[in-house]
Amino acid sequence: MPNAAKWFVLTLLLISIGRGHVNAQEFKTAVDKEGVTLKLDGKLVTRYLTKSGAKPILWPLFGPQGQEMTRGYPMRGVGAKEKEDHIHHRSFWFTHGDVNGTSFWHENDGHGTIRHRDFKSVEGGKTAKIVTINDWIQPDGTKVCEDERSFTFGASKEFRWIDVEITVRAGKEKVKFGDTKEGSFGIRTAGSMRVELGEGGKIVNSEGDTDAGAWGKRARWVDYSGPVSGASGGVTIMNHPTSFRYPSYWHVRTYGLFAANPFGLHHFLNDKTVDGSHTLQPGEDFTLKYRVLLHNGQLKPADLEEAFSVYTKK
């Protein structure tokens, strides 16, 4: 095995056992009225905002070379090579477009709101962890369900990663997550990375589908890479085998939307006879699990497969 490949695998193995940290640096967390600020060696990694638009988000989100990996609009004005579209695509989020008939995905008339209730845990150290409780509220004020979402952060010289676990739980009434492409666990990549710009952006999934051909396909992981902040980098989202309806379908677009959606089957399969909805009975839940890997350069599919293997063996 070439030295570069050996180093790549070793770094991934260190990540899997929690030892892939840069010079034993530690994450520092600070809670304020807007959410949580997370820093590594004094430099901003991300902010967990309890409210942006109609939901909690992570923004900004910086990669291992200090690249800003997600779009800045609409949290700030439209930046270079960004598109002023889809105001609800806010950096890094989890929502869905049809929950008991209400869209929590959009921000137009009649949308639902995911309301931050509490921080269950905020921890720094060699890894960092943020755990929150959130209520899903319809326009009339009715709570339809709640979620507990956990974000565990790690870093090495070549990577940053976020392990995401989200459990959605019904209350005393049934909750239906409807069949729509508008969902669910989403990232809007930096504007310079989008494939349609023609400057080197690329989408590839675990099944070998690329760019527009990856939309609506099922895959264990998807990588979106391209130029960002004068360098090259990428975002890989991996779906854990114990996640609900693994492997996920993917609502990933060449204009920069990047979302895992296990519900939108009739859109993805172009078959109106298929129903991808899921109904939770009172007290029931489902859990979604992902690793978001922020990396330098454009990784080969074999490297991404190795990264997935390390994640699933942890």
- What's residue 15's pLDDT? 57
pLDDT tens digits along 187-203 = 999 999 999 999 999 99
CB–CB of 218/207 below 8 Å?
yes
Which residues 6+ apart lie within 8 Å of 261 measured at CB?
181, 183, 184, 185, 248, 249, 250, 251, 268
- Residue 25 pLDDT grade (very low, low, confident, very high; cuts 50, 70, 90): confident
> Domain range spanning residue 236?
3-313
pLDDT digits (tens, 9 = 90+) for 68-122: 999 999 999 999 999 999 999 999 999 999 999 999 999 999 999 999 999 999 9
> Which sign, positive or negative, has the C-alpha torsion 164, 280, 266, 113?
negative
Helix ranges, 241-300 (H) = 265-268
Residue 22 has pLDDT above 50, yes or no: no
pLDDT at residue number 80: 94
Q: How wide is the angle at C-alpha 311 spanned by C-alphas 309 and 314, nearest 5°?
A: 105
| φ and ψ of 91, to 5 deg | 65, -70
pLDDT computed for residue 84 by the predictor:
97
| Average pLDDT of span 237-253 | 98
Beta bridge partners of 291: 163, 238
Per-residue pLDDT tens over the stretch 222-237: 999 999 999 999 999 9
Asked if residue 33 has pLDDT above 60, the reply is: yes
The predicted model scores a pTM of 0.94
Element (H, E) at 152: strand 143-155
Number of domains in the chain: 1
